[in-house]
Amino acid sequence: MTSAVPFSSPVRSPERPGDAERAPRELMSLPGFYRDERRWRLVEIRLGGRWRPAMLTVWRRPPGSAVWVVHVTWGPENTGAWGWFLFDKNRIRPLPEPAGPAPTTAPYLGTWRDAVRVPGELAGPAGTDPTERCWCLAWLRADGAWRSVLVTARRCPAPQMPWIAHARWGEDKQAAWVIADGIALRPLTQDGPPAHAHVHADADVLPEPAGAPVPSTSGESV
């Protein structure tokens, strides 16, 4: 690593008491090998005196350091809404997974089901039409568990057809078009497919003790 390694976003909001602390350049440019854990997780981060929904994508242990540094983004990259922060469970905390009884409407009928994927030949490539692009954090039900995802495009393939959304999730770089039903795909932010339920979390849900990456509540990395 060198001093050229980015240690924070180029655009900063005014810092307020209680905000997450950005990783200093000196810590991020230490010589030697560092340990990275790529693990996507929806979190909320304290910035500008308020909590913002965000995506934590990387845990990093700088060489010889006893602290973890995390990469967090809360908006499109071209807006500068990202940064490296010192992990503090009181300033960066995971959002709770969706809770409550399983929906009773079809095709769920009282049991949780994975999001309905749309065949590629029907959906087509994502991001080809600028009007379809978006940036939306969401929970997605896939492989029997809730995944932290980023929705990058949404479209209605044809009149009278449901809206679909292109979702990316996790360090394994999975991506798929899915039905944007607001049940198996639950956006957190407003810049996403229409007709969804807004999820808001103020609960003080704490991660595992600082010093180790936060695991998925399902036992898998998300």
The number of beta carbons lying within 10 Å of the beta carbon of residue 216 is 18
Q: pLDDT confidence of 216, banded at 50, 70, 90? A: very low
C-alpha angle 197-202-207 in degrees, rounded to nearest 5: 110
Decide if pLDDT at 72 tops 90.
yes
Residue 166 belongs to what H/E stretch?
Answer: strand 164-169
9 pLDDT tier (thresholds 50, 70, 90): low
Specify the pLDDT at position 37: 85
pLDDT computed for residue 19 by the predictor: 94
Is pLDDT at 105 greater than 80 in this prediction?
no
Instruction: Return the closest-CA partner of residue 180 out of 203, 206, 157.
Output: 157
Q: Tell me the average pLDDT of the chain.
A: 77
114 pLDDT above the threshold of 60: yes
pLDDT at 34: 72
For 187, phi then psi, to 5°, come to: -65, 145
